[in-house]
Amino acid sequence: MKSSRAAAPAAAPVAVVILAAGAGTRMKSRLPKVLHPLAGWPMVRHVIENASALRPAPRLVGVVAPGAERVAAAFTPHAVVVQEKPLGTGHAARAALPALAGHRGPVLVVFGDAPLITTATLRRLVTACTRANAAVGVLGFVAADPTPYGRLIQRDGDLEKIVESRDASPAEKQVALCNSGVMCISGALLPELLGAIGNRNAKREFYLTDVVAIARAAGHRTIAVTGDEAEFQGINARAELAAAERALQQRLRAAALDAGVGMQDPESVWLAADTKLAPDVSIGPCVRFGPGVSVGAGSEIKAFCDIEGVRIGRDTIIGPFARIRPDSVVADRVHIGNFVELKATRIGRGAKANHLAYLGDSDIGEASNIGAGTIAVNYDGYGKHRTIIGRDAFVGSNSSLVAPIRIGNGANVTAGSVITEDVPAGALAFGRARQVTKQGRAGELRARLKARAGK
């Protein structure tokens, strides 16, 4: 028996255009606005990653300003086009048309300075447009304070027009649904709709919002889809960047807690967008994760640690007050204690460095022990060199290991040594001046020093 229910329209491939040509003058910075960091990534990368999760085809296209090489590089490996003159959002979207040639599916137009919008919300907009066979769909939100926003005016379930706040009538200003600026436009109609946008306005610019009225005038359907205001927070100034950071951190912390991560004081833990924390990881107060960190199950990150660019294994203890810098790997069941710093260092299973050590450009073997105050002397003023320590080695406190150097399996370096030559496996090594003790001379020395000080 055939079903009487109409088949849902097939989902067409979606393309994405990200507008990132704005000057961002209110940021008062030499850094382009969309490259300002947010949870360890340039803000535009959040938009790219969330849009890329829709698997855009034929492509994702970034629109940048002339000379914005750093912004263009942020879109790699995606296509980039240049908006030669700053003539409005409609003009910017039009610059992307050559890169979308032949695409007839939905085209999402989003902004590079709106990094909090989620993949789920973008997908919901595309799905709604597909099901409604709409030429244009606009994401809207109900604002706590709608005063500065354009309004989405609806009639009979469709979007009739977008009215800027300054142009809205008293009745239109009572409308709660505000314009986010994010649109889904039919790829088949996109050249026609963008080509029809005029610039008869005070700024002589081409506004993307005009496509709603243009599409309706041509007899096409236009719709509004409601989202959460928190996702549509644009960033134009430093205060807004800080607010977005707070919002994103709350989102990242909530996701980590839901995934089984323990945090004693979540508000004081700062995560990067790509931080990977396994279930049963425990995090103390005032911990910062930079980009590129993964932590295995059962590991504990104690208070006041700063960790970036490292893979940490299972059942490992880090901190308190430890710093782990990029390109480091810490294996399972390792102890990295207070005021220990690692940089580009690999530490094997079960090894320990519990106190006051600097281990840069080093390889530490399994079950080895690094004493308090140990320094891997990795820099000679011109280049970096590696220190390689084998399995089950012991390095005594206050030792300096002058790289390049190798310390073999089971070797023992005595406390206070300066080691400048390789130590074979199983050998005992010490490099320090012989102690001299002069009986009864302490009083004489103290008297001389006291007289010199005039006391």
Q: In sequence order, which residues have a C-beta less than 8 Å from that of residue 108 and are 6 or more positions away?
A: 14, 15, 16, 17, 51, 54, 56, 122, 125, 126, 182, 183, 184
Q: Which domains, from first to last, does the chain contain?
A: 15-232 (3.90.550.10), 261-429 (2.160.10.10)
Interval 344-366 mean pLDDT: 98
- pLDDT, tens digit (0-9, with 9 covering 90-100), for 141-188: 999 888 889 999 998 889 999 998 888 889 988 999 999 999 999 999
Concatenated DSSP letters for 241-291?
A: HHHHHHHHHHHHHHHHHHTT-EESSGGG-B--TT-EE-TT-EE-SS-EE-S
- pLDDT, tens digit (0-9, with 9 covering 90-100), for 305-327: 999 999 999 999 999 999 999 99
- pLDDT, tens digit (0-9, with 9 covering 90-100), for 28-81: 999 999 999 999 999 999 999 999 999 987 789 999 999 999 999 999 999 999
> What's the CA gap between 438 and 110, in Å, rounded?
79
The share of the chain scoring above pLDDT 90, in percent, equals 85
Sheet of 323-324, strand order: 288-289, 306-307, 323-324, 341-343, 358-360, 375-377, 400-402, 418-419
Say what the pTM is.
0.89
Residue 435 confidence (pLDDT): 82
Neighbours of 448 (CB within 10 A): 10
**Does the pLDDT value for residue 3 go beyond 60?**
no
Range with lowest mean pLDDT among 182-196, 202-216, 408-422: 202-216
Residue 290 confidence (pLDDT): 98
Interval 108-126 mean pLDDT: 96
Mean pLDDT of the chain: 94
Residue 111 confidence (pLDDT): 96
Residue 7 confidence (pLDDT): 41
Residue 4 confidence (pLDDT): 35
Interval 335-361 mean pLDDT: 98
**Does the pLDDT value for residue 10 go beyond 70?**
no
Residue 11 confidence (pLDDT): 62
Q: Which residue has the tokens 């299972």?
A: 314
Tokens coding 173 = 């200003």
Interval 423-448 mean pLDDT: 91
Tokens coding 131 = 């099901």
Residue 85 confidence (pLDDT): 93
Minimal CA–CA distance to 183: which of 197, 202, 169?
A: 197
Residue 2 confidence (pLDDT): 37
Residue 413 confidence (pLDDT): 97
> What's the CA gap between 311 and 54, in Å, rounded?
28
Q: Residue 423: helix, strand or coil by DSSP? A: strand
State the DSSP H helix or E strand holding residue 110, giving kind and residue range, or none if neither.
Answer: strand 106-111
Q: 121 falls in which pLDDT band (50, 70, 90)?
A: very high
- In angstroms, how far is CA 429 from the centroid of its own chain? 45
Residues assigned a catalytic role: 355
Q: In sequence order, which residues have a C-beta less than 8 Å from that of residue 259 and are 6 or more positions away?
A: 277, 279
Residue 8 confidence (pLDDT): 41
Instruction: Specify the pairing of strand 41-42 against strand 37-38.
Output: antiparallel
Range with lowest mean pLDDT among 130-139, 142-151, 278-287, 327-336: 142-151
